[in-house]
A and B are shown apart, each in its own frame.
Chain A
Amino acid sequence: MAFHLLQRDREGAGRLAETLSDALETIHHCVQCNNFSETEICDLCATGERDPRLLCVIETPADLLMMELTRAYQGLYFVLMGRLSPLEGIGPHEIGIQKLLERAGDGVTEEVILATNFTAEGEATAHAVGELLRQRGLKVTRIARGVPVGGELEYVDSGTLAQALLERRPASP
């Protein structure tokens, strides 16, 4: 890409460089949710229209956008900016766990919803974070998983179906 820009689009290269350097200078982490923000507190945290008793923990900013697309959640977020990955040496100090513990201990938060990925690393993160938050007297929940909405069993992968069976719940009356 660098060669292409230098050879064919030097003006574009300049704009890209400027934008990147602006971003580096102006974009920081929101002091509340740890997401990227140009202001000290991001717009989402600052609206005052969200339910401050709910805090949803996710791995990345992209996950936050997906959660917002559901239009099913009115609470606030905390973005870990990663997940525990023991084999890569990514431990609690490499991601925002300490910051999350401070954030969730603000006295207003009542329930923390763990929405890390359903990968082995995401599960390990959810377990570790959940333990630490429970010790601090918070209600901790994990998002459910299973067969996708509109999903036909015939086309669901075996791992998902196996887990859906294991985590089955009483049928609604």
Chain B
Amino acid sequence: MSFDPARVAMEPAFVLHSTPWRETSLIVECFTPHCGRVALVAKGVRRPRSALRGLMQPFQPLLVDWFGQGELRTLKTAEWQGGLPQLSGKALLCGFYLNELLMRLLGRDDPHEALFGIYAQALARLAAAEPLEPVLRAFEVSLLQELGYAPPLEREADSGAPIDPQAQYLFELDRGALRVVVPGGNAVQFLGKTLLDMAQSRYDDPVTLSQSKQLMRLLLGHHLGHQDLHTRRIFQELPLL
């Protein structure tokens, strides 16, 4: 049986973001495994007695049914799937960060089944109160890999030689890791071990943790263009109050 994107039933979904629409409705951006990011009109869910009112929240696994053609489909029903504690505290802010990345980098109706699993796993790790930074880094790397912008982390650019964990590297966006031959220079340098650790999703080394943050910022910045992430700005503003 082929998959009909105009009439979908029991599709796993996470709400990424929702905005009020007309008096009582919402436009809900959902992330699903088989259709990627879809925009659904949830009619009447802002009425006080709507059964779906409490369900249209981010970070909660749902099963949704929708119908319709075009970019904006109509939500028919949604079912609570459960099993994931609600995010709270800093983990909640990190959840918004993941959602903003998906909203910005994922086109509508572009399915990435594996990424859906990776996102669900990242949320589960955040909900389980794991250290936040490794979860974010691993998600960022996987996100770029799934979108086809995989940064080559295990081989040197040009020569294709394996990365030397002890060597220093520069990272050029369109080429990859370049071994630093002459020390010095202004460009940010990364230890070979950092790149290898990132390829393996190992973030227990503090050097890896801080360097990977810089590298991912560089790579994401390239794909996000000029407009910086709101969540990142808010993260920076809060401690300054």
Contact = CB atoms under 8 A, between A and B. Distances in A.
Bound together:
yes
B92 A163 contact: no
A87 B96 contact: yes
A86 B88 contact: no
A159 B60 contact: yes
Interface in B9-54: 16-17, 19, 51, 54
B92 A92 contact: no
B211 interface: no
A160 B92 contact: no
Nearest to A124: B92
B82 interface: yes
B80 A89 contact: no
B54 A157 contact: yes
Of the listed residues A87, A131, A160, the one surrounded by the most CB atoms of chain B closer than 10 A to its CB is A87
Contacts of B100: 86-87
Contact of B92 (A88, A98, A127): A127
A7 B89 CA distance: 53
A123 interface: yes
B93 A127 contact: yes
Contacts of A86: 93, 96-97, 100, 230-231, 234
B238 interface: yes
Interface residues on A, range: 20 to 34
Contact of B51 (A91, A93, A119, A157): A157
Nearest to A132: B241
A91 B234 CA distance: 5
Contacts of A87: 16-17, 96, 99-100, 103, 230-231
Contact of A84 (B55, B95, B99, B234): B234
Of the listed residues B19, B59, B97, B230, the one surrounded by the most CB atoms of chain A closer than 10 A to its CB is B230
B58 interface: yes
B233 A120 contact: no
A163 B86 contact: yes
Contacts of A157: 51, 54-55, 80
A101 interface: yes
A97 interface: yes
Contact of A92 (B59, B99, B237): B237
A86 B86 CA distance: 17
A158 interface: yes
Given A120-B59, A120-B96, A124-B93, A91 B237 contact: yes
A166 interface: yes
Nearest to B56: A119
A128 B94 CA distance: 13
B57 interface: yes
A158 B17 CA distance: 21
A101 B238 CA distance: 12
A73 B64 CA distance: 40
B82 to A, nearest CB: 6
Given A127-B92, A132-B241, A120 B54 contact: no
A28 to B, nearest CB: 23
Interface string B134-164: 0000000000000000000000000000000
Interface of A: 84, 86-89, 91-93, 97-98, 101, 119-120, 123-124, 127-128, 131-132, 157-160, 162-163, 166
The 5 closest A-B pairs by CB, nearest first: A158-B80, A86-B96, A91-B234, A89-B230, A86-B231
Interface of B: 16-17, 19, 51, 54-55, 57-60, 80, 82, 85-90, 92-93, 95-97, 99-100, 103, 230-231, 233-234, 237-238, 241
